[in-house]
């Protein structure tokens, strides 16, 4: 029997068993109580309200539309309570007849909608988040907008940076990749309205700096998985929820206009958002939102490419290059959401969810690179190195990179008595278009460089900002002493496309007197990742840098150690594009770079699961198993540099994973909740890691290749947590987690005699293999471990003292320890695993004033393996932000925000903080704006 047939048989058996159990266990009667919970005006539905049948100690939580339903109630009289942090518990008495009953509930103070603490402002958002977290049956962290759907942050990554255990990695000063509990962002998955988010890059980690937070209504971070969730995450799942018309009643309009000022660019960048939603006859809803931003960014950077031991002076010094980089770019964001909801009947809801997001980096980069610090060293100590001659590249790049993320889904939910069905078809697409890109390098002329200019000294006593000095500087800072070395034109496209279909069925049942919800489902995902890389390299003699210098060549606000020039001017060098003849093209280099980067990967995943949710009163248990079959078709190329031969490689892999999980929630009291969870998960190899691309350098007798035999990461994940809700809008929680990871993926370099069997070299000709000396690839390591603890404290300070009324404090801390053993026996931290993450925030909200200040920290993490004691590490970074909002009236609000107020840089080092790898400064930013709501 084939693997697919075997897998389908397992799904069929699982589903049939669940259906048979449901049929045998369920009684014929179907009494129920259902309804909707809103604020007192009826305009804002409340999610996360605990609805309890006090007489039976049975509870459910309201969904995002405030709806609830409790099935299998015997006929009779009941007391129904509604509990929501931030307001008093409400109790109602109701009689449930044979046909069931409806009970709508209102909560909150009898005040105007805009002033209601439950639905508007910082405390409103906190209340909603805490209530959803308290009622979750798995371990979750919630970030909610206020009742008007407002996030104060520019991007999703910024919003996530303050959540428990979450941190962000930045690009040009903006949060880009999100980590949960310090774990590598490539091991985290994200969804938009339940649709897996595609990646425009050749990795699995998803860029979240391109998604404007104004398009969202809430964010859910699920840290322990249940069987009905895709199992492709070791750290958790980030689910972004866009707006829906039924999030509020009737017509809603919101407009935001703001400007952002950065102290380095000295420019004001505009941003605008408009949101409209409306419901018609309470059966059809439309929600539309559009966002636009044109953000000016400037960053100053210096880098050292490599360090090593200089044996002549017995000291570790830079032995590669030292670079100064200047980035000047405009980042344009366009975001669109169009969502439609149709309540076809009392039993069926249908929806259409669409999101389009595009952001364009229009970038200019200048680089001043001092080369070959490993050549002709004449002096070296712990703080400096001197080489006999100076050789410098002056480079300019002009690039227009366009990235898109699109998701579209159609689905619905049908409730038929005790049965519940949900279904969805989706399409997701991401693209990175790097087709408008040129890069030119000018090099200092050798005839003068070798004999006249003298020595260069690099002083790195201040490791973040080294200083270059020496006799050669005056020569190297004269443009006429440079001639063009190479001109590069790029035309590269990355595409990621996924179609998905899923169907789930659940039924409320009673086994004896114990309520159990049985659920089963299946999902099919078909994903194609295509990278088409095209690079052309040109060379031309007698092109002098002096002809490409603009009148404002010097960067007057340069922040780092040495003077920095903006030459060559990329707007001038762009004129060289299209001017080269065929004879000036470097065919060998162009062919190599245009071939080795190309690949096509088709990945199909067929999944099925069965699970049960058991309600034991104070204890809820979710247990089940998910089975995922993966089939991968890989296509790439083998390139031999010496001969120029190109061979197409096609590889097929398939494997099946059985992934059990159990989540337990126990209420020791109304305010004290304990949680425990176990789940198995996998993360498939990165696309670039497993692509069947290989490049053979005959001169060096080495090969670089992707590993087509890579296994996915697999992990057993364990969680324990305790949550205490002492007062209104307060929580104190502590948790511990442990992840036992098999087959973690690391990059590695091997001598030919040490290459493991998992690296396939059988496609190489025998003569080539006989002469091969070194292999650079990716490998699985046997075992890695991550152990961590998590603390969270949120307190409405007004509950402690009336003098502190209006103040809200929140703080969280995640500490981890990790270890992985490499094939050579060396023990290192798990790749890209931060050792600490913490966030602190203090807010004040009273009357028309809403204030907040927060600090966010991400600890050190191993970024890249090089050599023992010289591995590249990301230094810890702490940022501080503040915001002030003032409500002029019920419809109009002004706000002011400050970002990166301490001007915190980004720093990378090699093994020790005294050894620079990369240092970036982005400056402080200030945002001012107005919001109109109707």
Give the pLDDT confidence of 362-378 residue by residue, as tens digits.
999 999 999 888 888 99
Q: Given a cut of 70, is residue 14 above it in pLDDT?
A: no
Burial of residue 727 (CB within 10 Å: 0-12, 13-18, 19+) is middle
CA–CA distance, 618 with 189 (Å, rounded to integer): 32
Q: Given a cut of 90, is residue 926 above it in pLDDT?
A: yes
Range 407-427 average pLDDT: 95
CA–CA distance, 874 with 461 (Å, rounded to integer): 19
pLDDT band at 26 (very low <50, low <70, confident <90, very high): very low
CA–CA distance, 873 with 911 (Å, rounded to integer): 7
Q: How far is CA 516 from its chain centroid? A: 35
- Which residue spans within 197-251 are E strands per DSSP? 216-222, 237-242
Q: What percent of the chain has pLDDT over 70?
A: 93
pLDDT band at 155 (very low <50, low <70, confident <90, very high): low
Q: Given a cut of 60, is residue 17 above it in pLDDT?
A: no
Which residues, 6+ apart, have CB-to-CB distance to 271 below 8 Å? Answer: 154, 256, 257, 258, 259, 260, 291, 292, 293, 294, 295, 929
CA–CA distance, 652 with 630 (Å, rounded to integer): 11
Residue indicated by tokens 């029997």: 1
What are the CA-CA distances from residue 368 to residues 457, 673, 743, 879 (Å)? 15, 58, 41, 29
Residue 773 or residue 9, greater confidence = 773
Range 128-143 average pLDDT: 85
Range 291-305 average pLDDT: 94
Four-residue CA torsion sign, 115, 119, 122, 127: positive
Q: Report the length, in residues, of the chain.
A: 934
Q: What is the mean pLDDT of the chain?
A: 87
Among 741, 730, 835, residue whose Cα is nearest residue 781 = 741
Q: How many CB atoms lie within 10 A of CB 266?
A: 11
Enumerate the domain spans of the chain. Answer: 245-607+619-933
Q: Which residues pair with 653 in a beta bridge?
A: 632
Which residues, 6+ apart, have CB-to-CB distance to 209 below 8 Å? Answer: 155, 156, 157, 171, 174, 175, 176, 359
Is there a cis peptide before residue 883, judged by omega within 30 degrees of 0? no
Four-residue CA torsion sign, 39, 42, 47, 51: positive
Residue-wise pLDDT for 69-127, tens only, equals 998 888 889 999 988 887 888 899 998 888 788 899 988 764 333 343 344 566 777 77
Residue 432 or residue 18, greater confidence = 432
Q: What is the pLDDT of residue 201?
A: 79
Q: What is the pLDDT of residue 231?
A: 92
Q: What percent of the chain has pLDDT over 90?
A: 55
Q: What is the pLDDT of residue 890?
A: 82
Range 695-702 average pLDDT: 83
Which residues, 6+ apart, have CB-to-CB distance to 766 below 8 Å? Answer: none
Q: Given a cut of 70, is residue 632 above it in pLDDT?
A: yes
CA–CA distance, 681 with 673 (Å, rounded to integer): 25
Range 350-359 average pLDDT: 93
CA–CA distance, 231 with 219 (Å, rounded to integer): 19
pLDDT band at 129 (very low <50, low <70, confident <90, very high): confident
* Residue 212: DSSP 8-state: B
Q: Show the tokens assigned to 585.
A: 């093209």
Q: Show the tokens assigned to 224.
A: 């322990």
DSSP helix/strand/coil, 452: coil
Among 317, 346, 332, 361, residue whose Cα is nearest residue 414 = 346
pLDDT band at 541 (very low <50, low <70, confident <90, very high): confident
* Residue 685: DSSP 8-state: P
Q: Show the tokens assigned to 750.
A: 């091997």
Residue 880 or residue 126, greater confidence = 880
The values of phi and psi at residue 94, to 5°, are -140, 145
pLDDT band at 615 (very low <50, low <70, confident <90, very high): very high
Among 899, 921, 888, residue whose Cα is nearest residue 324 = 921
Q: What is the pLDDT of residue 449?
A: 61
What are the CA-CA distances from residue 541 to residues 215, 366, 443, 580, 584 (Å)? 52, 22, 12, 12, 9
Helix (H) or strand (E) holding 99: none
Q: Given a cut of 50, is residue 204 above it in pLDDT?
A: yes
Evaluate whether 580 touches 531 at the Cβ level (below 8 Å). Answer: no
H-assigned helices in 374-454: 446-451
CA–CA distance, 905 with 79 (Å, rounded to integer): 58
Residue indicated by tokens 């069987």: 227
Range 801-815 average pLDDT: 92
CATH class of 245-607+619-933: mainly beta
The values of phi and psi at residue 444, to 5°, are -60, 140
Q: How far is CA 302 from its chain centroid? A: 26
Mean pLDDT lowest for which of 136-145, 258-267, 834-843?
136-145
Each residue of 623-645: b (16+ CB within 10 Å) or e? bbbbbbbbbbebbbbbbbbeeee
pTM confidence score: 0.88
SS3 track for 278-333? EEECCCEEEEEEEEEEEEEEEEEEEEECCEEEECCCCEEEECCCEEEEEEEEEEEE
CA–CA distance, 142 with 562 (Å, rounded to integer): 46
Mean pLDDT lowest for which of 146-160, 298-312, 436-450?
146-160
CA–CA distance, 514 with 586 (Å, rounded to integer): 75
Q: Given a cut of 80, is residue 159 above it in pLDDT?
A: no
Range 577-597 average pLDDT: 90
Range 230-257 average pLDDT: 88
CA–CA distance, 755 with 748 (Å, rounded to integer): 10
Q: Given a cut of 70, is residue 461 above it in pLDDT?
A: yes
SS3 track for 844-866? EEECCEEEEEEEEEECCEEEECC
Q: Show the tokens assigned to 12.
A: 């069929």
Helix (H) or strand (E) holding 133: helix 122-135
Each residue of 198-208: b (16+ CB within 10 Å) or e? bbbbbbbbbbb
Residue-wise pLDDT for 185-199, tens only, equals 888 888 888 888 888
Range 631-653 average pLDDT: 91
Residue 757 or residue 86, greater confidence = 757
Mean pLDDT lowest for which of 206-220, 412-426, 495-509?
206-220
Q: How far is CA 556 from its chain centroid? A: 35
């Amino acid at each position: 029997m084939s693997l697919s047939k075997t897998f389908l048989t397992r799904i069929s058996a699982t589903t049939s068993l669940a259906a048979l159990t449901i049929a045998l266990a369920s009684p014929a009667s179907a009494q129920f109580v259902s309804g909707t919970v809103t604020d007192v005006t009826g305009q804002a539905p409340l999610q996360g309200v605990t609805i309890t049948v006090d007489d039976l100690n049975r509870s459910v939580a309201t969904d995002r539309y405030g709806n609830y339903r409790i099935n299998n109630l015997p006929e009779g009289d009941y007391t129904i309570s509604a509990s929501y942090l931030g307001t008093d518990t409400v109790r109602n008495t109701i009689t449930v007849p044979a046909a069931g009953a409806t009970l709508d509930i209102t909560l909150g103070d009898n005040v105007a909608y805009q002033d209601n603490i439950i639905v508007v402002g910082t405390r409103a958002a906190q209340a909603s988040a805490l209530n959803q977290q308290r009622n979750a049956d798995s371990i979750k962290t919630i970030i909610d907008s206020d009742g008007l759907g407002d996030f104060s942050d520019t991007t999703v990554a910024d919003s996530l940076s303050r959540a428990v255990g979450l941190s962000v990695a930045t690009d040009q000063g903006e949060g880009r990749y999100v980590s949960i509990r310090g774990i590598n962002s490539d091991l985290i998955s994200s969804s938009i309205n339940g649709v897996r988010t595609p990646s425009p890059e050749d990795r699995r980690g998803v860029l979240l700096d391109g998604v404007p937070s104004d398009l969202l209504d809430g964010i859910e971070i699920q840290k322990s998985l249940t069987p009905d969730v895709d199992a492709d995450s070791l750290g958790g799942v980030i689910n972004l929820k866009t707006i829906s018309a039924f999030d509020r009643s009737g017509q809603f309009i919101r407009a935001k206009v703001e400007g952002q000022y950065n102290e380095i660019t000295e420019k004001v960048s505009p941003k605008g958002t408009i949101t409209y939603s409306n419901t018609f006859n309470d059966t059809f809803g439309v929600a539309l939102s559009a966002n636009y931003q044109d953000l000016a960014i400037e960053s100053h950077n210096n880098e050292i490419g490599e360090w090593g031991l200089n044996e002549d002076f017995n000291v570790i010094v830079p032995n590669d290059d030292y670079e100064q980089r200047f980035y000047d770019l405009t980042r344009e964001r366009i975001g669109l959401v169009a969502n439609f909801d149709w309540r076809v009947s009392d039993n069926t809801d249908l929806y259409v969810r669409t999101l389009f997001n595009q952001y364009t980096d229009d970038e200019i980069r200048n680089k001043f690179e001092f080369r070959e610090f490993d050549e002709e060293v004449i002096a070296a100590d712990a703080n400096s190195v001197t080489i006999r001659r100076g050789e410098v590249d002056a480079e300019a790049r002009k690039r227009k990179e366009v990235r898109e993320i699109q998701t579209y889904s159609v689905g619905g939910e049908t409730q038929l008595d005790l049965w519940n069905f949900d279904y969805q078809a989706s399409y997701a697409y991401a693209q990175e278009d790097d087709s408008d890109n040129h890069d030119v390098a000018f090099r200092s002329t050798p005839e003068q460089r070798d004999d006249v200019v003298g020595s260069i000294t690099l002083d790195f006593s201040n490791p973040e900002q080294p200083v270059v000095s020496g006799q050669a500087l005056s020569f190297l800072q004269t443009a006429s002493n440079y001639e063009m070395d190479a001109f590069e034109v790029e035309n590269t496209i990355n595409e990621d496309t996924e179609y998905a279909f899923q169907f789930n069925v659940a039924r409320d049942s009673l086994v004896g007197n114990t309520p159990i919800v049985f659920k089963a489902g299946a999902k099919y995902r078909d994903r194609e990742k295509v990278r088409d890389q095209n690079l052309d390299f040109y060379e031309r003699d007698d092109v002098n840098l002096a002809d490409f210098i603009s009148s404002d060549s010097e960067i007057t606000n340069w922040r780092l150690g040495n003077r920095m020039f903006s030459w060559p001017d990329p707007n001038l060098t762009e004129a060289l594009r299209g001017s080269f003849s065929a004879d000036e093209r470097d065919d060998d280099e162009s062919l190599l770079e245009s071939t080795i980067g190309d690949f096509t990967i088709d990945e199909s995943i067929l999944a099925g699961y069965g699970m049960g949710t058991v309600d034991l009163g104070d204890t809820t248990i979710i247990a089940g198993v998910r089975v995922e079959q993966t089939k991968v078709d890989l296509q790439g190329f083998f390139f031999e540099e010496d001969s120029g031969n190109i061979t197409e490689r096609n590889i097929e892999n398939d494997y099946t994973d059985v992934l059990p999980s159990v989540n337990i929630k126990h209420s020791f009291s109304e305010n004290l909740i304990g949680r425990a969870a176990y789940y198995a998960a996998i993360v498939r190899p990165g696309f670039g890691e497993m692509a069947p691309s290989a490049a053979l350098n005959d001169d060096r007798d080495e090969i670089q290749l992707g590993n087509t035999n890579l296994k996915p990461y697999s992990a057993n994940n364990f969680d324990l947590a305790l949550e205490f809700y002492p007062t209104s809008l307060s929580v104190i929680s502590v948790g511990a987690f442990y992840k036992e990871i098999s087959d973690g993926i690391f990059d590695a370099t091997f001598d030919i005699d040490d290459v493991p069997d998992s690296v396939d070299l059988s496609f190489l000709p025998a003569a080539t293999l006989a002469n091969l000396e070194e292999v650079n690839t990716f490998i699985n390591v046997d075992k890695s471990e991550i152990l961590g603890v998590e603390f969270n404290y949120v307190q409405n300070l007004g509950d402690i003292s009336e003098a502190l009324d209006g103040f809200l404090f929140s703080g969280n801390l995640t500490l981890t320890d990790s270890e992985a053993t490499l094939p050579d026996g060396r023990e290192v931290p798990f790749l890209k695993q931060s050792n600490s993450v913490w966030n602190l925030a203090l807010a004040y909200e009273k009357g028309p004033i809403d204030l907040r200040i927060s600090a966010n920290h991400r600890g050190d993490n191993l970024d890249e393996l090089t050599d023992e004691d010289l591995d590249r590490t990301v230094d810890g970074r702490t940022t501080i932000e503040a915001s002030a909002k003032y409500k002029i009236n019920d419809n109009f609000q002004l706000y002011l925000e400050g970002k990166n107020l301490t001007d915190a840089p980004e720093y990378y080092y090699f093994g020790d903080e005294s050894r620079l790898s990369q240092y970036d400064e982005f400056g402080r930013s200030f945002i001012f704006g107005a919001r109109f709501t109707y």
